[in-house]
Structure 1
Amino acid sequence: MRPVERGDLPIDPNTGIPIVFTQYSQAKSHLIDRVGEYCSYCERSINHLLHVEHIQPKAARPDLERRWDNFLLSCVNCNAAKGHEELILRGASRFGNTIPKSNDISSVSAP
């Protein structure tokens, strides 16, 4: 899995205050600016069809649906493979090294 250093919540340049996402899709451009156009799981460079992925699924954790620290970028294949699985989180940062609870995302191969 690609190391993700997305940093702190993005700051609105007009107001100087942290951005509050009303829709999780609004985080996509900020994630691309911070981590590049890469799938966080398979590490492939993807210049289109990247999705904002929820580390903890929306269905299981609706309270995290629009939280910056719950976002990654994912290709279509990896996003589908992860599905609604919850992840066990370990590592130095809150969402540092993530591993799936049951599926081995590292074995997913994209065409």
Structure 2
Amino acid sequence: MRPIFRGPVPIDENGQMKVVSDYKDWRMDLVERIGNYCSYCDMVLNDSPQVEHVVPKNPQPNQPQGSLLAWDNMVLACGPCNRAKSNNPCGTDTHYLPDFHNTILAFETKNISYRNKNACIITVKSGLTFAQATKGQNTVNLCQLDKVVVTPRATDLRWKYRFEALQMAKYWRNEWDSWGQTTPAFLRLLQTAAISKGFFMVWYEVFSEVPTVVKALIEAFPNTAVDCFDEQQGYRLKRRNPADF
């Protein structure tokens, strides 16, 4: 789950803060700000990115209601994540959210085999405290980030596309180690491959020990939250919130 910076409210053609009457009118602004990627599973959204309310606009009973139209309550989501999340509660005190936390500190990818298929899922990062792990698992459950469905009619293929991204990232890492680091054009090619395939966290994990590439990935994926990476320490992860991730 890539940490993102949504930024201030977009400005309209008259130089004023944009106002919308339908939350879906934020779609292109979100694509331009944070890229055409699901904010929860990191999957590239080549078609039909869904505008998703971080705090549900129609919450469950006795749960807080999120703003219907506010820019600060909007992210992009894929169909599977949006359907799974639905109107379930998801505050920053109970879940790790990409626009508030450094979510890479809370999650990691895991390669598994299910019904003879290779799958890559998102799981809670090992080594967390009980409270952190609980909060992380709440988030995994919220969007079913560890779900693998292998049936002839399956439409939720996040696990498959993430595995393909992992294989691609490993290929590029081998190329980097072999010859890429001595070729100026290599980073531009790698950036193109990464943003076309999506799944930022997969690429980060594969190249986490290569600051030059991590920097290139941060720059390639629009509005990745730069305050989640310590430039002075080779772009190591750092907390976004002192008391939390």
TM-score range with shorter-chain normalisation? 0.7 to 0.9
Would you say the 8 A contact 1:39–1:46 is kept in 2?
Answer: yes
Q: Does 1:17 align with 2:19?
A: no
Distance 2:54 2:68 in 1: 10
Listed one character per residue, the Cα deviations across residues 4-63 of structure 1 (whole Å, up to 9, x for unaligned) are: 211000001x2111001110000000000000010000001111121000001111326x
Cα distance change, pair 101–107 in 1 and its aligned pair in 2 (3 A) = closer
- The match for 2:100 among 96, 99, 102 is 96
- State the distance in 2 between where 1:102 and 1:46 align: 20
- CA distance in 2 between counterparts of 1:108 and 1:11 reads 39
Q: Is the 8 A contact 1:42 1:108 kept in 2?
A: no
Distance 2:39 2:47 in 1: 14
- 1:87 aligned residue: 90
The aligned counterpart of 2:80 is 77
Where 1:3 maps in the other structure, the secondary structure is: coil
Question: Hey, what does 1:7 align to over in structure 2?
Answer: 7
Paired position in structure 1 for 2:28: 29
Secondary structure of the corresponding residue to residue 103 of structure 1: helix
Structure 2: where are the runs of 5+ without partners?
60-64, 94-98, 104-135, 149-155, 158-245
- How far apart in 2 are the matches of 1:48 and 1:34? 17
Aligned residues: 105
Who wins on radius of gyration, i.e. which is larger?
Answer: 2
Q: Report the alpha carbon displacement of residue 101 of structure 1 after superposing the two structures with TM.
A: 6.7
Q: CA RMSD in A?
A: 2.1
How far residue 104 of structure 1 moved from its aligned partner, in angstroms, is 3.9
Following TM superposition, the consecutive aligned residue runs of length 4 or more in structure 1 with deviations greater than 4 angstroms are: 98-102
Give distance in 2, aligned partners of 1:43 and 1:102. Answer: 13
Question: What TM-score do you get using the length of structure 2 for normalisation?
Answer: 0.39
Instruction: Flag structure 1 segments of 5+ consecutive residues without an equivalent.
Output: none
Give percent identity, aligned residues only. 34
The structural deviation recorded for 1:103 is 2.9
Which residue number in structure 1 is paired with residue 68 of structure 2? Answer: 65
